[in-house]
Every structure is written in C-alpha cells, then in structure tokens.
Structure 1
Amino acid sequence: MAAGLLLLVCAGAVLYSAEAQDLYNELPDYYKRGVDLALEQLSSHAGVHHHFRFLKSLEKSEIEAGFGVRYLYHHFYLKPTRCAKGTVESNPQRCPFRSDRPLMDCAVCYKTSGDLMESNPKPYIHCIQRPRLTQEMTTTRMDHCKKMSYNSGAPTLLAVSKG
C-alpha cells in the first residue's frame, strides 16, 4: 500500500514538472525572452544557490506600437529546483522542482522590435521571493512599466487586455 502511494506521488510530481515545461514552451518567443532574462539575472546573483524554472504566467499584456515595435509586460512565478545553479546548461527543464522553498514572483517589462528585445529603454526585471512581495513593490513595478511605454509615446502597457 505504501509503495503504491509513493509511486502515485512520484508520478504526480513528474506530470506537474512536465506541465510547467509545457507552459514555458507554449509562451511566444518574445515572452520567453523576458523569462530567460529574469532567470539569467537570478542565476547571476551570489545569494542564489539553486536553479529556477518557469512555473506559470499570472498576467501578460502587450502594446503594438506599430512598425514591428511591441511593449510587453509579464508577471510570472519561477520555482526553485533541486539542481545547483550552473549545473544544468544542456537542459534546465529536466531539474525537478522542490517544494521546501518559496516561489519567486517576477515582473518584467521591455520593448521588442521585430521580436528582438531592445536595449533602449532598458528592460525592467523585478524578482522577489513570494512572501516578501509587498503592495508597495507591486505598485512600483506597475508604475515603472507604465512610464516605460509613456516615454515612447505609446499607450500604457497596463491598459491593454490581460492574457
């Protein structure tokens, strides 16, 4: 009985991990670039010891500014894995999630042109452990992204429908 229960739990963990990988793979490339940028920033931080993987999107919005220019906002969760950072360059999606650490709550906003991320204005990335996110931080994120699109004369990012 215990072995059967253990098998069921393990099968569930594999399916859950595969579902998260599918969610990342289903993102359009221009949203994947923002997730990848957040993962890159996180892995370069000295205090982060484990690899993170994309878990799910909470909110997405975009503005088509014309001539192939797009302003993107993406709010998502990253989940820690059991793999040490720097050990999974070939296929990071194979690292199993761990449940003994909090999720990383991330928001990114950036400009793309022809589906390539632009360096001006500088992409904005903000990630923090979920329990430490405050309402003030959430407001600061939104304000920063609104200013990014207003500075270029585009309509506000957050006025566009959520995805």
Structure 2
Amino acid sequence: MAAGLLLLVCAGAVLYSAEAQDPYNELGDLHKKGVDLALEQLNSHAMVQHHFRFLKSLGKSEIESGFGVRYLYHHFYLKPTRCAKGTTDSTPQSCPFRNDRPLMDCAVCYKTSEDQIEPNPKPYVHCIQKPRLTEAMKTTRIEHCKKMNYNSGAPTLLAVQS
C-alpha cells in the first residue's frame, strides 16, 4: 500500500514538473502572441495534417519605439504532436511530440501597440518544414522584417537582441 502511494506521488511530481517545463509557458506574452499567430496560420492550411506545439526559440528581438509601440521578431521551431489537427488542449501530457515528422521552422515579425498585435503593417508569418528552408528564404524573412521597421521609421528590429 505504501509503495503504491509512493509511486502515485512520484508520478504526480513528474507530471507537475513536466508541465512547468513547457517552453511555451516560459515565453513572454508578446512572443506567445506571435507563436499563436503562426499556429493559427498553420491550422488554416488544408495541406497541414498535424497539430503542432512550440518547441524552442532560435532567436528573438524586440524594439520599443515609444508610446507603447513595439516591434517584435521571433524565430522558433514548432514540432508535430500525436494529437489531431485542431486540438485545443495541447499540454505536453495530452499531446506528446512525435519524432517521425520534420520540425516546422517559423519566423514572425509584427508591430504591437498596448500589447496587442496591430493590423498595419500586416504581421509577417513564414513557416516551412525545416528540411525545405533555404538560405534565400532566410534572407527574404530578414529583409521583410527590416522593411517593416524602416517603413514606420523605427530602428531596425534585427539589430537589437534580447
């Protein structure tokens, strides 16, 4: 009986610590909004068959240009899970990652005002399976995000690292 109770307590501790380790939960609110934007775009494509979860950040930057306006850039990986596309409860326990599909490499850049994503300039979201990402695509992503900031008179977003 005591061994069974100990096993139950240990299992609960492992599940609790796994939940605390979810990398998405460690992102700031503004960067979460960019990840959510990418996930929303992926889910809208009929060709995408899997449910994805945030795996890790590869790079992010943020420029505050005053009056509550910020420009954000976030480069990250999404990983497919074993859950069906469109799943809303996607905790690590309910939707474990699958290792038989490639990662999705995503880059987003967008303007926020008062912690909300602004429609102008239009947020930029580019996600592609990691093996298909080319150097030309990487360059296009960076140039697009730089232009977004120059058009509004802000300093270049990719020059600031956070």
TM-score band by shorter chain is: 0.7 to 0.9
**d(CA) in 2 for partners of 1:20 and 1:150?**
38
What RMSD over aligned residues (CA atoms) do the two structures have, in Å? 1.9
Match of 2:116 in 1: 116
Deviations, residues 97-151 of structure 1 (Å, cap 9, x unaligned): 0000000000000000011110000000000000000000000000000000000
**d(CA) in 1 for partners of 2:134 and 2:19?**
29
- Asked if 1:132 corresponds to 2:141, the answer is no
The SS at the match of 1:97 is coil
- Asked if 1:60 corresponds to 2:60, the answer is yes
Larger Rg, first or second structure (1 or 2): 2
Match of 1:92 in 2: 90
The alignment-based identity, stated in percent, is 79
> Runs of 5+ in structure 1 lacking a partner?
1-10
> Runs of 5+ in structure 2 lacking a partner?
1-10
**d(CA) in 2 for partners of 1:140 and 1:124?**
11
Match of 2:5 in 1: none
Match of 2:81 in 1: 81
Query: How far 1:22 moved relative to its partner?
Result: 2.2
Q: How does 1:1-163 map to 2 (within 5 A)?
A: 18=18, 22-86=22-86, 88-89=87-88, 91-93=89-91, 94-161=94-161, 163=162
**d(CA) in 2 for partners of 1:30 and 1:125?**
15
TM-score, structure 1 normalization: 0.85
**d(CA) in 1 for partners of 2:139 and 2:149?**
16
**d(CA) in 2 for partners of 1:119 and 1:141?**
19
Q: How many residues align?
A: 147
Match of 1:7 in 2: none
TM-score, structure 2 normalization: 0.86
